[in-house]
Amino acid sequence: MFKGISKRWLINTFGVILAIIVLLVVSLSVAVRSLCYASVENALVSHSKELDAVFPEGVSDSTDTFIDAASAYAADISYKDEVELQVLNASGRIVMTSTGFVPSDETAPDYADALKSENGISRYTGRSDAGEKIMAVTRVIRSVQGAELGAVRYVSSLRNANLKVLIYTLIASAVGLLIIAVVALSGYYFIRSIIRPVRGMTETAQQIAHGDFTAKVDKMYDDEIGDLSDTINDMAKELDANEKLKNDFISRVSHELRTPLTAIKGWAETMQYGVPDRVTLEKGMSVIVKESSRLTSLVEELLDFSKLQSGRLTMQMERMDILAEIDEAVYMLKERALSEGKHLLYDDPEEMPIIYGDRNRLKQVFLNVIDNALKYTPEGGMIGVQVYQDFKEHTIKVVVADNGCGIDPEDLPKVKDKFYKANQKINGSGIGLAVADEIIKMHKGTLEIESSPEVGTTVTITIPIFNEAAALDDDTQPLGGMTT
């Protein structure tokens, strides 16, 4: 379990919390120790002030007087259970204690410090000769002439203070352990709430990667993880839809390729195994030429789509007259419209402003749009092509309208998508409009489609007018031809 996210959480979060708690416990222990030791020291200092009543201004008449007065004072104190009072002679040797027990070899290292201090008082924290942790306050008593007669030493064991420090440390440690346990428990459930959905997503993603686009992630929480689950499920739906479109596309293209190849092969075999009459020969050659052109157009469409997908679709941009390309596109499809019994009408304006574009690619777009209009318009129907200038938007609009079968509202938003084909009964690869739309976008224009079932379809192509003044100021719009 402790790998990946769990391991990172354990190292980062849990490690930081543990370090903070250890730091707090140590800091609390030091603070409590300081307070306890300060309390003991203050008590000893306070007791030492009682000597002012026994030895005014820390002075005694003689050594004997000092020893007698200090001994009487030591025997009479009321806090013998808390503090041991020791009487030291001028050489620093203990001669009397409040407990009645005089050690033979115990030293008082703080006596020498008291002799050196200005006020004759010193403080000591350390261990006694018996090894016990103690704190002592020593006050020197001098004669009237200023000679050192000895000292009175207040000694307190630090056992109780250290016990308090230990108790508070243990309490703080217990609280810290409790906090760590609570954090660990809550963190366990939190990490689990992340890991379980992520593992489910991983398994589902693996299923999707192996082609099972029906796999779904169970949404467990309404948060970022839940949003990610929805995204994966939506992705699976899109992949499933794209897979179906791709399969339909492959099937459709295979059919589109097979049909002209079959016609070409059939007529070629007819002319190979016999000499047909002139009418039959002309008809066969006409079919071969027509189907070869259809096959060539389909292959070019597929190549353009491949370039579009790989980002290799290029434009040879130059200043050009859009009317010349529209006229040629209409002329190329005029005979076909007549042969199919359809009316192709073109309102040819006298003049249009110059645009900046690729002649061949724009003609390819116009041919594709008019060709689609012819495909979906029944015999006797009408296709109208109109070109006009939009002075407000500073653009040229090319409108191709027909009164054909139209497009259903649910199919209309998808007709420019790759592989999508609204009407499966009509021949076509389903990628022509996707390529045409991309070409127009590369000309900084738009291709918009409006349609109603059984009423007809209107395609509006909008292309910006070439602005020579703007081109001179803008390095992104060159004046000469180039590849983009």
Condensed to tens digits (0 to 9), the pLDDT of residues 322-374 reads: 999 999 999 989 988 999 999 999 988 878 899 999 998 999 899 989 988 99
Q: Are residues 344 and 198 in the same domain?
A: no
In a domain, 218, yes or no: no
Q: Cβ–Cβ contacts within 10 Å for residue 212, how many? A: 12
- The count of structural domains within the chain is 4
- Decide if 73 is inside a domain: yes
- In a domain, residue 62? The reply is yes
**Enclosing domain of residue 288:** 224-303
Residues 459 and 379 in one domain: yes
Domain end among 149, 169, 203: 203
Distance CA 35, CA 38 (A): 5
Q: What is the pLDDT of residue 382?
A: 94
User: Is 114 within a domain?
Assistant: yes
Better-predicted residue by pLDDT, 124 or 310: 124
153 and 172 in a single domain? The answer is no
Amino acid 449 reads I
329 and 420, same domain (yes or no): yes
Confidence class of residue 449 from pLDDT cuts 50, 70 and 90?
A: very high
CATH of the domain at 85: 3.30.450.20
Q: Do residues 182 and 275 both lie within one domain?
A: no
Q: What is the pTM of this model?
A: 0.50
Does residue 215 fall inside a structural domain? Answer: no
Q: What is the tens place of the pLDDT at every residue in 99-141? A: 888 876 777 888 889 988 888 899 999 988 778 899 999 999 9
35 shares its domain with 54: no
Do 433 and 479 sit in the same domain of this protein?
yes
Same structural domain for residues 78 and 97? yes
In a domain, 214, yes or no: no
Q: Is 277 helix (H, G, I), strand (E, B) or coil?
A: coil
Domain boundary among 122, 157, 192: 157
Phi, psi of 91, rounded to the nearest 5 degrees: -90, 5
Q: What is the CATH number of the domain that holds 436?
A: 3.30.565.10
Residue 370 within any structural domain of the chain: yes
- What Rg do the C-alpha atoms of the chain give, in angstroms? 51
CA–CA dist 302, 369 (Å, integer): 17
